[in-house]
Amino acid sequence: MSQDPGRFAVGFDIGGTNMRAGLISGSGEIIRQVSAPTPATAGELDSGIVELVRALGEDHPIDAVGMAVAGFLDPACETVRFAPHLPWRDAPVRAHLEGLLGLPVRLEHDANSAAWGEYRFGGAQGADNWVLLAIGTGIGAALIVDGEIYRGAHGTAPEFGHLRVVPDGRPCPCGKSGCLERYCSGTALVDSALEFSTRGGFGDSVLLEAIRRDPTGLKGDMITRAARDRDPLGVAVMEDFSLWLGECLSMVADVLDPELIVIGGGVSRDADIYLETAVAHFAGRIVGAGYRPLARVGTAQLGADAGMIGVADLARQAVAAP
């Protein structure tokens, strides 16, 4: 597992809007980073990737390149089957980029990459059986079992965000309704605030006034800020989110029984205002509560860099492996 920290790998985090790449040391430090808008066509994406790698490699030798991708990969991580915001469809991306860059390339799902970063250098060091819940627009998840990424038979595990938790519940862009991430995500904060705002009982809520003025301008950080200011509507929305997160934690613990669950993603920045309530709810909801140890719950430490750092480390490992 240990590599020469004097050697470097590049980690890419390719999102629908921007792509970021970092030159990462063997101890997980970001030596340098660059970014660019994500091109819309496969050809421009190729050139963009080559250019960023060239920029990072000017003064440093690069051993390998890792690519964290938001989408479905095959279990061998050779092919991108489907990535909603990228121009790859059933594309053998790994071999293609390896040919293009003349360097070993490692492809990995973005949540798995972030989990690997947290496992090697962040909030999950030392925990060999644990789950990452990356809560932002939706819920991304990754599972580490005995120190390895669990991906399932077809490479799609683990998915928690679209478990149906409310029959005929809030409609989801996935086509179903009542999915967990419609109640437990950054997006859900906004949905809940809009829904709650039509009920009474929130007295002189500044947040309620803001919603009445401009419901379409409501953002998640307005709600967390309101909750911090003890605004009645803000507090009610965060309370609801806390209970759903506790429910989500209990589902993860029931099915996977990890030693640790790490909350990452954009929502993790405000963990101080909801995590205690969520964990208390979780403790009372698992099956056999009292007869089984409870998973620890923590927060991610590498923020938005986790995927870049993690996939660079995976790329280095792939090169170092026999």
Contact residues: a second copy, CB under 8 A: 72, 81-82, 129, 145, 150-167, 174, 176, 247, 251, 254-259, 285, 287-288, 291-293, 295
Tell me the closest approach of the beta carbon of residue 187 to a second copy, in angstroms.
16
Which residue lies nearer to a second copy by CB, 95 or 145? 145
CA distances from 243 to 101, 152, 163, 187 (A): 47, 29, 16, 16
Tell me the closest approach of the beta carbon of residue 151 to a second copy, in angstroms.
7
Q: Read off the tokens for 121.
A: 């250098």
Q: What is the DSSP letter of 33?
A: E
Q: Rounded to 5 degrees, what are φ and ψ at 28?
A: 85, 10
**Which residues lie closer than 8 Å to 272 by C-beta, 6 or more apart?**
none
Residue where the block lists tokens 């963009």: 48
- Cα distance between residue 111 and residue 108, in whole Å: 9
Which residue lies nearer to a second copy by CB, 21 or 243? 243
Cβ atoms within 10 Å of 89's Cβ, excluding its own:
12
Numbers of helices and strands, H then E, in the chain: 9, 13
Tell me the closest approach of the beta carbon of residue 50 to a second copy, in angstroms.
28
C-beta of residue 75 within 8 angstroms of C-beta of residue 86? no
Which residue lies nearer to a second copy by CB, 32 or 285? 285
Tell me the closest approach of the beta carbon of residue 249 to a second copy, in angstroms.
12
Amino acid making up residue 150: Y
Tell me the closest approach of the beta carbon of residue 19 to a second copy, in angstroms.
22
Which residue lies nearer to a second copy by CB, 211 or 252? 252
Tell me the closest approach of the beta carbon of residue 13 to a second copy, in angstroms.
21
Which residue lies nearer to a second copy by CB, 5 or 284? 284
Which residue lies nearer to a second copy by CB, 72 or 202? 72
**Closest C-alpha among 140, 21, 124, 158 to residue 70:** 140
